[in-house]
Chain A
Amino acid sequence: MDVIRDILDNQIVDRNQRKMGKVDGIGIEIRDGQPPRLAYIEIGSTTLARRLHPRLQKWVAALEQKLGIKSNEPFRIPFSQVRDIGIDVDVDLEAEQTPALAYEMWLREHIIKRIPGGL
């Protein structure tokens, strides 16, 4: 499917053109008698790890659990919220309100903000 080639690994940007991550995975809905439909796009380190090797996914998931990172589930964006597919995949969301930027926010609050001159 061309959609797979067009959308997988593309940059995702939110309503404000803020980078949210890449399309690490996609979910396809298979319906009887109809062509398969793109259900959602997925962002997540475990998704990415799984593409490399299933065992790697388990390893990454275990590591995240040990580090106390709450979400084990990758973040899914339903296809209905995808507004445009061009150079980037525009989605109708606010990046900071989604789990996509969990690491980013954590680093910002706990480390970057503590170092002077960061603004």
Chain B
Amino acid sequence: MSKILEVALGILTSIGGFLDVGAIATAAEAGSSFKFQLLWVILLGTICVIFLVEMSGRLAAVSKHTLADAVRERFGFNFYILPLLAEVIVDFLVLGAEIGGVCIALQLVTGISFQWWAIPVSFAIWLMLWKGNFSLIENGVSFLGLVTLAFVVATFKLRPSLPAVAQGLLPTIPHQDTTHYLFIAVSILGALISPYLFYFYSSGAVEDKWDKDILGVNRAVAGLGMGFGSIVSMAVLIVAALVLNPKGIQVDSYEQAALMLTQPFGYWGFILFAASLGIACFGACLEITLDTAYIVAQAFGWNWGENLHPQEAARFSFVYTIFVFLAALLMVFGIDPLQLTLFSMALTAVILPITIIPFLVLMNDPKYVGEYKNGWMSNSVVIFTIALAFIIAIFAIPLEIIGG
């Protein structure tokens, strides 16, 4: 496939796959509670993600190792067990929340309670992983995810004041409701800078057999794909700010968020919200389930790969099978999906340092990335992200308790 086509495909799938339950929930909360003021947090998180994702692809292409592989190899199992356990626990909770997102979408449309949908949804996820291959999962569902562009179209329809939006892109901290503001800010960052993203990306790069020639494509896809994807996230915030905030609705549940597209689109707006939520979350479910199986298999050196048939990678397939059904139980037992989403985002923020620091070391180690070491810009952004992650890590849980 020509390079341009590859870049285009990569960008489209990144846009379609950008939103997930965390991004939607936090953007809706942010827009409804604080109008445009939190836009800068989405921008900040996106910049961090672009660099981390690009690095993840570069590491895989040059070293032919996935991130998980490389971390165990470079730092030893005794170290790696820590980020591994942290990541598996967080993946479990986030997967529960994402499954919840799909179930809520189905509840919105059918009226049947989300608890009943949990097992069927997890079965659908399992079936796609069992029978599908990597391209189908990465490209197929992400293409469907382009339905989330409805939020961007809605933004145009609603005609926001551009100066007001631009002002939101500059960092501010309000004097009122500060704890609530900071909590949402932390949750947005946790939703955007998710470790599963760059673990998954590196595994995908190895599945697709990337090499040095693809580094340019990698940069373009990371930059433009994530960049344009974040516009969809910002669109959710802006729509919530324009539709819900003036009425005084502060999003505390998905039922309230579901109203936001009804103003620009009427009945179809309700359906589009449910479709966006459902498809975006379903895509994320596939990614996270796979990602957990990837990092566990790679940690222990098992055969792994979505392009392999389950019988060729028995332990790998077994892990994702068990994992997805266990995570579904969180929804079966009726845990509130939005609360779980916000909690898992805050927890993600807490484990960020232990995930990113080894990553930084690897990206400067010529043994892994050869002459493609990090430049000063990449290193600066990563160090900044780590510093940010530490600050968030210290304050996230207390904020969760007070401001949640």
A contacts B: CB pair < 8 Å: yes
Residues of A within 8 A of B (CB): 8-12, 18-22, 24, 43, 48, 51-52, 87, 103-105, 107-108, 111-113, 115, 117-119
Contact B310 A118, beta carbon cutoff 8 Å: yes
Also in contact, A21 and B301, with CB within 8 A (given A104-B315, A112-B318): yes
How many residues on B have C-beta within 8 angstroms of the other chain's C-beta atoms? 25
> Which of B80, B130, B304, B310 lies at the interface centre, i.e. has the most chain A CB atoms within 10 A of its CB?
B310
The one of B69, B80, B302, B309 in contact with A119, judged by C-beta atoms closer than 8 angstroms, is: B309
In the bound complex, residues from chain A placing their C-beta under 8 Å from that of B80 are: 9
Query: Whole-angstrom distance between the alpha carbons of A70 and B303 in the complex?
Result: 22
CB distance from B368 to the nearest CB of A (A): 10
Residue B81 lies at the interface, judged by CB distance under 8 Å to chain A: yes
* Known contacts A19-B303, A21-B300, A104-B302; A118 and B318 CB within 8 A of each other: no
Residue from A11, A19, A20 whose CB has the most chain B CB atoms within 10 Å: A19
Tell me how far the C-beta of A101 lies from the nearest C-beta in chain B, rounded to whole angstroms.
8
Q: Does B314 contact A (CB under 8 A)?
A: yes
19 A-B interface contacts by CB (under 8 A): A9-B76, A9-B80, A19-B303, A19-B304, A21-B302, A22-B301, A51-B76, A52-B78, A87-B63, A103-B315, A104-B303, A105-B314, A107-B314, A113-B311, A115-B130, A115-B310, A118-B130, A118-B317, A119-B309
Contact B64 A87 (CB under 8 A): yes
**Contact residues in B for A11 (Cβ distance below 8 Å):** 69, 73, 301
Shortest CB distance A18–B (Å): 7
Chain B residues with CB under 8 A of A107: 314-315, 318
Task: Show the binding face of B for A, using Cβ within 8 Å.
Answer: 63-65, 69, 72-73, 76-78, 80-81, 130-131, 300-304, 309-311, 314-315, 317-318
User: Contacts A21-B301, A118-B130 given: A51-B78 contact, CB under 8 Å?
Assistant: yes
Cβ-neighbour of A112 out of B63, B81, B301, B317 (below 8 A): B317
Nearest-CB residue, chain A, relative to B299: A22
A102 to B73, CA, bound (A): 23
Cβ contacts under 8 Å, A22 to chain B: 72, 77, 300-301
In the complex, what's the smallest C-beta–C-beta distance from B251 to chain A, in angstroms? 40
Interface pair B130/A117, CB less than 8 Å apart: yes
With both chains docked as a complex, state the minimum distance between the C-beta of B60 and any C-beta of chain A, in angstroms.
Answer: 12
Among residues of A, the one whose C-beta sits closest to the C-beta of B367 is A6
Partner of B310, one of A12, A43, A112: A112
Closest Cβ–Cβ distance, residue A105 to chain B (whole Å): 8
Contacts of B69 in A (CB 8 A): 11
Contacts A11-B301, A21-B300, A87-B65 given; indicate if A112 touches B73 (C-beta within 8 A): no
CB-based contact B311/A20 at 8 Å: no
CA distance A48 to B130 in the complex (A): 30
* Cα–Cα, bound, A24→B78 (Å): 11
CB pair B77–A48 under 8 Å, yes or no, is yes
Are A111 and B311 in contact (CB-based, < 8 A)?
no
State in angstroms the CA–CA spacing of A111 and B313 once bound together.
12
In the bound complex, do residue B301 and residue A12 qualify as a contact, i.e. CB atoms below 8 Å apart? yes
